[in-house]
């Protein structure tokens, strides 16, 4: 990976958040395709992006894939494991409650990052992540209350594993930062193969029936389930991982706004409050990171 500055890497990582805000729009546009089939269709597109980029730069696909088993285990567990348990959670628990639990991952990234070399967890990071989580909760619940019924324990448990997997993948990617971002192409292809197996075992095949549905699948593979993983890898390895964690709570907000603009959802008053919480949380985290960077500078 070429050397880039911490601020630039953080900005690149935030592109993933912007791309993930399109996830709901493209998913709705893809029609009635079962989730594992959709993943099996999209992940290979994401893998192809990486392979083409390696070829364009004159790199070696063999070199990029020649990584230790622990790197492959981490990447496949992150990409495929997250989606497997997310789909499992939604099948076995109410979507709002399961989605909220799964969206603990930005907060967990902030907390787990304290164990990383050279990182220091500041009060502003924790409070900012808490505010962001509160904003996400308002969006997911539409301002209402949650009902965590014990009968949905399997789904809630899967959602917790989902959050733990993505946050652990993001933080541990920094620990194994010597692995090039090119390896993400292999992770996508492996995740696609595993998704196909799950689809064949658990679902009935439903193909897109309109041009819009096919374009939505392509959009997913190019963006939220493709390029997003590459820029996120750069961000968490070289950027401000705590700030990225907090700013990730912008994804559900932006996703809702995109759905409103596309006519798939209606504007809700609660969005104003959620926006305030998420923006305030991100500003607090940014101030904490700026304070930390200033204190870390050596005296002239």
pLDDT band for position 66 (cuts 50, 70, 90): confident
Predicted confidence (pLDDT) per residue in 129-154, tens digit: 899 888 888 887 766 666 666 777 88
DSSP states along 193-220 = HHHHHHHHHH-------SHHHHHHHHHH
Decide if pLDDT at 2 tops 60.
no
Minimum mean pLDDT range among 32-46, 118-132, 244-258, 284-298 = 284-298
- Collapsing DSSP to helix, strand or coil, 239 comes out as coil
Q: Are 173 and 237 within 8 A, CB to CB?
A: yes
What does the pLDDT average to over 190-195? 97
> Domain-by-domain residue ranges, the chain?
6-293
Predicted confidence (pLDDT) per residue in 286-299, tens digit: 888 777 655 545 44
Mind spelling out the 3-state secondary structure of 12-46?
Answer: HHHHHHHHHCCHHHHHHHCCCCCHHHHHHHHHHHH
Give me the pLDDT at residue 267, please: 81
- ∠ CA 7-17-178, rounded to 5°: 55
CA distance 173 to 245: 14
Decide if pLDDT at 68 tops 70.
yes
In the chain, the percentage of residues whose pLDDT exceeds 70 is: 93
Q: What are the helix (H) ranges across the chain?
A: 6-20, 23-29, 35-56, 61-65, 69-76, 82-92, 95-102, 105-112, 123-141, 153-175, 183-202, 211-222, 228-238, 241-247, 250-261, 270-296
Decide if pLDDT at 181 tops 70.
yes
């Amino acid at each position: 990976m070429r050397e880039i500055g911490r601020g630039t890497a953080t900005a690149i990582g935030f592109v993933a958040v912007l791309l993930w805000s399109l996830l709901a729009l493209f998913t709705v546009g893809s029609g009635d395709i079962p989730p594992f089939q959709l993943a099996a269709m999209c992940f290979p597109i994401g893998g192809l992006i990486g392979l083409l980029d390696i070829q364009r730069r004159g790199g070696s696909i063999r070199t990029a894939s020649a990584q230790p088993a622990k790197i492959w285990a981490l990447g496949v567990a992150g990409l495929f494991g997250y989606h497997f348990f997310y789909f499992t959670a939604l099948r076995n628990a109410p979507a709002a409650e399961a989605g909220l639990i799964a969206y603990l991952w930005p907060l967990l990234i902030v907390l787990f990052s304290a164990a990383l070399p050279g990182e220091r967890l500041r009060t502003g990071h924790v409070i900012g992540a808490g505010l962001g989580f509160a904003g996400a909760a308002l969006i997911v619940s539409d301002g209402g209350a949650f009902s965590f019924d014990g009968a949905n324990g399997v789904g809630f448990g899967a959602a917790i594993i989902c959050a733990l997997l993505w946050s652990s993948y993001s933080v541990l990617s920094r620990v194994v930062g010597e692995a090039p971002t090119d390896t993400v192409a292999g992770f996508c292809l492996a995740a696609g193969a595993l998704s196909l197996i799950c689809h064949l075992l658990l679902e009935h095949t439903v193909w897109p029936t309109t041009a819009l549905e096919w374009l939505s699948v392509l959009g997913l593979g190019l963006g939220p389930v493709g390029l997003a993983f590459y820029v996120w890898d750069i961000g968490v390895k070289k950027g401000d991982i705590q700030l990225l964690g907090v700013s990730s709570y912008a994804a559900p907000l932006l996703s809702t706004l995109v759905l409103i603009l596309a006519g798939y959802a209606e504007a809700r008053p609660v969005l104003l409050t959620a926006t305030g919480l998420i923006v305030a949380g991100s500003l607090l985290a940014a101030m904490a990171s700026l304070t930390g960077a200033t204190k870390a500078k050596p005296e002239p």
